[in-house]
Amino acid sequence: MGKATGFLEFERKSGGEIGPKDRIKNFQDFHAHLLQREQQQQAARCMDCGVPFCQSGMMLKGMTSGCPLNNLIPEWNDLIYLEKPDRALGRLLKTNNFPEFTSRVCPAPCEAACTCGFNDTPVTIKENEWSIIENGYAAGLIQPNPPKVRTGKKIAVVGSGPSGLAAADQLNKRGHSVVVYERSDRVGGLLMYGIPNMKLEKNVIQRKINIMEGEGISFVTNADIGNTIKAEKLIQEYDCVILACGASNPRDIQVPGREGKGIYFAVDFLKATTKSLLDSGLKDGKFISAKGKRVLVIGGGDTGNDCVGTSIRHGAKSVVQLEMMPKPPVERADDNRWPEWPKILKTDYGQQEAIAVYGYDPRTYETTVTEFVLDKEGKVGKAKTVRLEKKTEKKGVSFAPVKGSEKTIDVDLVLIAAGFVGAESYVAQAFKTELNERSTVKTAQNSFHTSVPKVFVTGDMHRGQSLVVWAIKEGRSVAKEVDETLMGYTNLV
């Protein structure tokens, strides 16, 4: 390592954030960044640890430990410290097609597994990654580099989320001709409309799409395969078809009053806000507004947090967020040791903003909705809730309502962020692919080939709802299998 004692000399330091009350005034990125010299010092904290768990990408107790992309983290940390940004960029891009995305939205399982974090604070891997890719753009090092030779093979990718984009990028580099079909009006899938602008500004996505177009990849928007465009057409025209449509079927809440007005899925709420923001700066009014409303968010995950942050930016009167699970501990429990993913309390940006604006953490744990109470016009006005008791049985974990814990709260807007239950069936049906018990497309183990010849699947549509970094990993893996199928061998990694 360039600075063998760096982890002893320098304390962890991050770029920080704009204060909650200031950042909620807009939908812009609110993260600050370190100066180059400060970033070098942070990279110098990377230890010569011998076994870099940060790049392992293992699954421990069903949780990700280390980077699924097996990023060469110690190598590019060293190159940052040694002031070799071009070489650091090369090592970063060797394993990650989209560090401009992951350095913004990834929860950083690499940092959770960092050896330096065993007894101290982990290395700022995520911010180091951001500095490499953004300095690369600023220095003009990232330019379109189309393949010099084409294979004559044509591939269709259905879906332009992170997995579809990664597959397209890899296959295009190999020399195949790739066309990406997207049913929305903008390219990006989950990245574009599933993640709010303050977490991932959409010009960052478009910047990369422009590079990919310059390298020869074609994008077709407003193309709803299985509806407006027949699946048979793609199978006939292309040598291979890759399905990368995500796991976009939201889990519903089946309780009395669910049919009421003012109750929406989180994905519809977030998409409408982002689309209106991009189309008109929210001036067209074509979004589900939380302004002046008492908002109830059902779901304690990342999507629920995004709903909290977005509602506050709309000008919500109040926000309550329900979580079925118990409140996590502040520190690791004895059965949750490093390098496992830390199951500890995390107060994300949305909750931070709620605390600053309303004076309280919006989360209520071990609670669920039992009924929505509607007014004479069919609009939601109240929600009945009950506290849950977690029970561990031989068959697994279950939740039972606690008698006497029922409450009624006033609500004007309900956002359901309870996760997703698999791929939308119409695409799978259009291609006649089989689904498994998780409602994702069925394949053989360690394969991406569906039951239909020429048709492959990747990303959330294959593995179920997961992280952006896993989607990129899936896209790279399916590209490798498709390339080997078409050419008889592959040099993709």
- Per-residue confidence (pLDDT) for residue 394, from 0 to 100: 74
- Per-residue confidence (pLDDT) for residue 329, from 0 to 100: 96
- Per-residue confidence (pLDDT) for residue 393, from 0 to 100: 77
First to last CA, the chain: 26
* pTM assigned to the model: 0.96
Asked whether 193 and 160 are in contact (CB, 8 A), the reply is: no
User: With the C-alpha atoms ordered 54, 56, 57, 62, is the resulting torsion angle positive or negative?
Assistant: negative
Starting from the edge strand earliest in sequence, which strands make up the sheet with 318-323, in order? 263-265, 413-416, 294-298, 318-323, 363-365
- Per-residue confidence (pLDDT) for residue 3, from 0 to 100: 87
What the chain holds in terms of domains, given with CATH numbers, is: 6-138 (1.10.1060.10), 154-248+421-487 (3.50.50.60), 263-416 (3.50.50.60)
226-247 pLDDT, tens digit per residue, is 999 999 999 999 999 999 999 9
Helix (H, G, I), strand (E, B) or coil at 10: coil
Chain center to CA of 293: 28
At a CB cut-off of 8 Å and minimum separation 6, what does 203 contact? none
Cα–Cα distance for residue pair 205/424, rounded to 1 Å: 24
- Per-residue confidence (pLDDT) for residue 395, from 0 to 100: 76
Strand residues in 417-482 grouped as ranges (E): 455-457
- Per-residue confidence (pLDDT) for residue 1, from 0 to 100: 66
Cα–Cα distance for residue pair 74/1, rounded to 1 Å: 8
Which long-range contacts (C-beta less than 8 Å, at least 24 apart) are formed by 83-87? 83/40, 85/132, 85/135, 85/136, 85/139, 85/141, 86/136, 86/139, 86/141
Using alpha carbons, select from 20, 15, 16 the residue that is nearest to residue 351.
20
Q: Strand pairing partners for 364?
A: 322
Helix (H, G, I), strand (E, B) or coil at 187: coil
Cα–Cα distance for residue pair 314/332, rounded to 1 Å: 35
397-444 pLDDT, tens digit per residue, is 888 999 999 999 999 999 999 999 888 889 999 999 999 998 999 999
At a CB cut-off of 8 Å and minimum separation 6, what does 483 contact? 170, 171, 174, 176, 490, 492
Cα–Cα distance for residue pair 395/25, rounded to 1 Å: 48
The residue whose two tokens read 């409450």 is: 407
**Which residues in the chain come in under a pLDDT of 70?**
1
Residue 165: which H helix or E strand, with range? helix 162-173
